[in-house]
C-alpha cells in the first residue's frame, strides 16, 4: 500500500519500514546490527520480489565487508605500537631489552653438584615424546573420569569404586610427573611457568581429595581445583596455548579499553536517566477480553481533559473509590495525568511498558549493556520514541529523534568499543606468533 493511499493511516504498518528517510535510516541500521533483520526482509518481500536481492546485498556489503574493513583499519592503529604492545622494556643507561630475551631461572639446590645423573635422567624423561603422549592420554582419561563423577552416586556402587581407583592412579601419575619435572628444572624453574602452576594445583587438590582431609569450606573450595585437569591439555597444543596466552597477555590493554567502555556507558546512562526517567509506562486493560479499554477510554487516558470539562460518560468511567484514585481532591481546573485517569478506572492498570528502563543510573547501565549485544534494542527504542513524559500515555512515533540516541550508542558503545577489544586481543595474538 502506498503512503498516499487514504487507507494507509488505518493500516497496520510495521515499525521498521522505508516510508521516509528517518525510518529508512533506522531500518537499515537495524539490519546492519543483525537485530531481527529477517522479519524486515519478510515484510518487504510481501510487497516486492526484489526485496531479497536488496537485503542480501545490504548484509554482504554492510556487515561482511564494511564492518570488517572498519575492524581492519582499527587493527592497523595497533600495529607496531610499542606503547600498546609493551614489547620493549626500558632499562638503566637508556638501553632496552625484549621480553623474549629473558631466560627462565633454573634452581636445582645442589642437585647438579651432588647428583648430576638423576638430573640428566629426569631431563631426558621430560623431553621424551613417548612420555608426553602417555601424559596426554592420562589427562584425557582423567577428564572423562571427572565428568562421570557425581556426588549423588552411591559410594558402594561399582562405578563409584572404579572412579575412586582411577582417581588414585591418575593422582600417582601426575605426582610422579611433578617430581620428575622438579628434579629436572628445580622448584623455582618449574613454578616460573604459569601452566606448571596449574599442574601443581591439580596435583595438590587430588592429594587432598584422596586423603579425605576435612578442613571446612576453604579446603573444599581448594579441592575444586581438580576441575583444572582438562585445562592441562592447553599446554600440550601449541596453537591452543598461543590463543590462551594471547588472552592473558592482552588483559592490561583490555582493561584500558574497559575503562573507556565504562565511561561511555556511564555518559549515555546519565543522558537516558535525565530525559527518560519514569517515562517507560502505559495504561492497559486488565485483560484482553471484555474488559479491554474502549476507544473513548483510551483517548481520555492519552489526552486527559480538564476535570471540570469532563463529559458525563467520561465521568462514568471513573471510580472515585478505586484504590489509588485521588479524583476527589481534583479541582475543576485541574488537568490530571494519564496515570491518574488510569488509576481511577476499574478495568485499567498502570504498568511498565518495558521490562528495562532508565529510572536510575544502574538500570540505565543494565539496559545499555543489553542493547550493546544488539538484543531487542529496537523494542526499547520504540518505547523511547513513543513516550510523552512522566505519567503520560505513550503515542506511537511521538518523537522519532530518540532513534538517533540509540543508533549513536550502538555505533560508539557497541561497534567501536567492541572492535577495540578485538583489536587489543588480536594484536597480542599476532605478537605472540612472531615471538614463537
Predicted TM-score (pTM) of this structure: 0.63
280 and 221 housed in the same domain: no
265 and 136 housed in the same domain: no
For residues 174 and 204, what is the distance between their CA atoms, to the nearest angstrom? 10
Q: Please count the structural domains in the chain.
A: 3
276 and 414 housed in the same domain: yes
For residues 242 and 235, what is the distance between their CA atoms, to the nearest angstrom? 9
Cβ atoms of 342 and 348 closer than 8 Å:
yes
For residues 205 and 135, what is the distance between their CA atoms, to the nearest angstrom? 18
Does 346 map to a domain? yes
319 and 353 housed in the same domain: yes
288 and 426 housed in the same domain: yes
Per residue in 323-377, pLDDT (tens digit) is: 889 888 899 999 999 999 999 998 889 999 988 899 999 999 989 988 887 878 8
34 and 163 housed in the same domain: no
Helix (H, G, I), strand (E, B) or coil at 223: helix
218 vs 369: which has the higher pLDDT: 369
170 and 317 housed in the same domain: no
Does residue 100 surpass a pLDDT of 80? no
pLDDT given for residue 46 in this prediction: 78
Cβ atoms of 22 and 400 closer than 8 Å:
yes
Q: What percent of the chain has pLDDT over 90?
A: 18
Residues 242-251, mean pLDDT to the nearest whole number: 76
- Which phi and psi angles does 352 have, rounded to 5°? -65, 140
For residues 413 and 334, what is the distance between their CA atoms, to the nearest angstrom? 43
323 Cβ contact partners less than 8 Å away, ≥ 6 residues apart: 343
Burial class (CB in 10 A: 0-12, 13-18, 19+), 301: buried
Does residue 88 surpass a pLDDT of 50? no
Confidence band of 8 (pLDDT split at 50, 70, 90): low
Cβ atoms of 98 and 76 closer than 8 Å:
no
Does 5 map to a domain? no
Does 357 map to a domain? yes
Does 98 map to a domain? no
pLDDT given for residue 93 in this prediction: 45
Q: Which of 236, 263, 295 is the last residue of a domain?
A: 236
The single residue listed with the C-alpha cell 472515585 is 320
Does 266 map to a domain? yes
Does 195 map to a domain? yes
Most confident stretch, 125-134, 157-166, 264-273, 426-435: 264-273
pLDDT given for residue 302 in this prediction: 93
Supply the CATH number for residue 143's domain.
Answer: 1.20.120.350
Angle at 349 between CA 345 and CA 351, to 5 degrees: 150
Per residue in 140-190, pLDDT (tens digit) is: 888 888 778 776 778 788 888 888 888 888 888 888 888 888 888 888 888
Q: Which of 194, 210, 236 is the last residue of a domain?
A: 236
409 and 265 housed in the same domain: yes
Confidence band of 82 (pLDDT split at 50, 70, 90): very low
67 vs 49: which has the higher pLDDT: 49
Cβ atoms of 377 and 411 closer than 8 Å:
no
Does 194 map to a domain? yes
Q: % helix / strand / coil in the chain, to the nearest 5? A: 65, 5, 30
92 vs 351: which has the higher pLDDT: 351
47 and 166 housed in the same domain: no
Q: Which of 29, 54, 72 is the last residue of a domain?
A: 72
List the domain range (segments joined by +) for residue 304: 253-431
Per residue in 257-304, pLDDT (tens digit) is: 888 888 989 999 999 999 999 999 999 887 655 457 888 999 999 999
Does 3 map to a domain? no
274 and 405 housed in the same domain: yes
Residues 39-57, mean pLDDT to the nearest whole number: 80
End-to-end CA distance of the chain: 63
132 and 179 housed in the same domain: yes
The single residue listed with the C-alpha cell 528495562 is 356
226 and 143 housed in the same domain: yes
- Which phi and psi angles does 290 have, rounded to 5°? -65, -20
Confidence band of 92 (pLDDT split at 50, 70, 90): very low
Does residue 384 surpass a pLDDT of 80? yes
Cβ atoms of 170 and 230 closer than 8 Å:
no
For residues 417 and 267, what is the distance between their CA atoms, to the nearest angstrom? 14
Mean pLDDT of the chain: 78
Q: What percent of the chain has pLDDT over 70?
A: 79
385 vs 43: which has the higher pLDDT: 385
Among residues 324, 323, 302, the alpha carbon closest in space to that of 314 is found at 302
Amino acid at each position: 500500500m502506498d503512503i498516499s493511499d487514504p487507507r494507509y493511516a488505518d493500516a497496520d504498518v510495521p515499525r521498521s519500514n522505508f516510508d521516509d528517510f528517518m525510518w529508512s535510516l533506522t531500518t537499515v541500521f537495524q539490519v546492519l546490527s543483525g537485530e531481527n533483520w529477517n522479519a524486515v526482509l519478510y515484510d518487504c518481500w510481501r510487497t516486492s520480489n526484489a526485496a531479497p536481492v536488496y537485503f542480501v546485498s545490504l548484509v554482504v556489503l554492510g556487515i561482511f565487508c564494511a564492518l570488517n574493513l572498519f575492524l581492519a583499519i582499527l587493527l592497523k592503529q595497533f600495529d607496531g605500537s610499542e606503547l600498546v604492545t609493551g614489547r620493549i622494556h626500558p632499562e638503566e643507561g637508556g638501553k632496552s631489552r625484549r621480553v623474549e630475551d629473558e631466560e627462565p631461572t633454573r634452581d636445582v639446590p645442589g642437585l647438579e653438584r651432588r647428583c648430576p645423573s638423576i638430573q640428566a635422567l629426569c631431563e631426558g624423561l621430560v623431553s621424551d615424546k613417548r612420555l608426553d603422549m602417555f601424559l596426554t592420554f592420562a589427562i584425557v582419561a582423567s577428564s572423562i573420569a571427572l565428568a562421570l563423577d557425581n556426588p549423588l552416586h552411591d559410594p558402594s556402587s561399582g562405578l563409584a569404586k572404579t572412579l575412586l581407583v582411577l582417581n588414585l592412579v591418575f593422582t600417582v601419575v601426575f605426582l610422579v610427573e611433578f617430581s620428575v619435572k622438579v628434579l629436572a628444572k628445580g622448584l623455582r624453574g618449574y613454578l616460573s611457568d604459569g601452566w606448571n602452576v596449574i599442574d601443581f594445583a591439580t596435583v595438590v587438590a587430588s592429594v587432598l581429595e584422596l586423603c579425605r582431609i576435612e578442613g571446612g569450606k576453604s579446603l573444599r573450595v581448594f579441592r575444586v581445583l581438580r576441575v583444572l585437569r582438562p585445562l592441562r591439555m592447553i599446554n600440550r597444543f601449541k596453537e591452543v596455548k598461543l590463543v590462551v596466552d594471547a588472552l592473558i597477555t592482552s588483559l592490561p590493554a583490555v582493561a584500558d579499553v574497559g575503562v573507556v567502555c565504562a565511561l561511555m556507558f556511564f555518559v549515555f546512562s546519565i543522558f537516558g536517566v535525565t530525559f527518560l526517567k519514569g517515562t517507560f509506562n502505559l495504561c492497559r486493560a486488565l485483560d484482553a477480553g471484555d474488559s479491554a479499554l474502549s476507544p473513548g477510554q483510551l483517548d481520555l487516558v492519552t489526552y486527559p481533559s480538564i476535570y471540570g470539562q469532563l463529559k458525563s460518560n467520561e465521568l462514568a468511567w471513573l471510580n472515585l473509590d478505586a484504590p489509588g484514585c485521588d479524583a476527589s481532591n481534583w479541582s475543576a481546573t485541574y488537568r490530571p495525568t494519564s496515570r491518574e485517569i488510569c488509576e481511577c478506572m476499574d478495568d485499567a492498570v498502570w504498568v511498565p511498558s518495558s521490562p528495562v528502563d532508565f529510572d536510575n543510573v544502574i538500570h540505565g547501565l543494565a539496559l545499555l549493556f543489553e542493547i550493546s549485544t544488539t538484543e531487542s534494542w529496537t523494542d526499547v527504542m520504540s518505547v523511547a520514541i513513543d513516550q510523552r513524559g512522566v505519567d503520560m500515555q505513550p503515542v506511537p512515533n511521538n518523537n522519532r529523534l530518540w532513534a538517533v540516541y540509540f543508533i549513536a550508542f550502538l555505533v560508539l558503545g557497541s561497534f567501536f568499543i567492541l572492535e577495540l577489544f578485538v583489536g587489543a586481543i588480536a594484536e597480542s595474538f599476532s605478537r605472540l606468533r612472531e615471538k614463537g
